[in-house]
């Protein structure tokens, strides 16, 4: 096997690992007064609370959850600041079970 093929295989492996690690574990779509999990699984109590937040706002967007417990990372797409803060409050109370 040539050195170039070995380097390419290594780069592909590292790229795949980085992609897999950076991918969100849980994705929740909010819109139309609903919250729907489109990737992963969310504990029922957290989903219930997110659905309550969605019911009380007209916001439409996406929540991406990475990590767990102390390393929990949230990414918001298309949501207003007030909705983002309500979601952070909900998930902060439940983070040890996410």
- Cα 71 to Cα 59, 65, 67: the distances in Å are 26, 10, 5
Residue 60 has pLDDT above 90, yes or no: yes
Please give the residue that has the higher pLDDT: either 13 or 96.
Answer: 96
The mean per-residue pLDDT over the stretch 58-86 comes to 91
Q: Length of the chain, please?
A: 98
Percent share of the chain, pLDDT over 90: 57
- Provide the 8-state DSSP code for 42: -
The pLDDT assigned to 53 comes to 95
Residue 71 has pLDDT above 90, yes or no: no
Report helix, strand or coil for 31: strand
Task: Give the number of other CB atoms < 10 A from CB of residue 40.
Answer: 14
The pLDDT assigned to 68 comes to 78
Report helix, strand or coil for 59: coil
């Amino acid at each position: 096997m040539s050195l170039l093929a070995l380097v390419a295989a290594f780069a592909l492996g590292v790229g795949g690992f980085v992609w897999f690690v950076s991918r969100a574990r849980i994705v929740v779509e909010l819109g139309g007064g609903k919250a729907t999990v489109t990737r992963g699984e969310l504990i029922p109590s957290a989903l219930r609370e997110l659905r309550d937040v969605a019911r009380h706002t007209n916001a439409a967007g996406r929540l991406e959850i990475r990590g767990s417990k102390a390393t929990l990372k949230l990414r918001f797409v298309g949501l207003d600041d007030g909705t983002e803060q309500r979601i952070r409050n909900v998930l902060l109370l439940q983070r040890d079970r996410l």
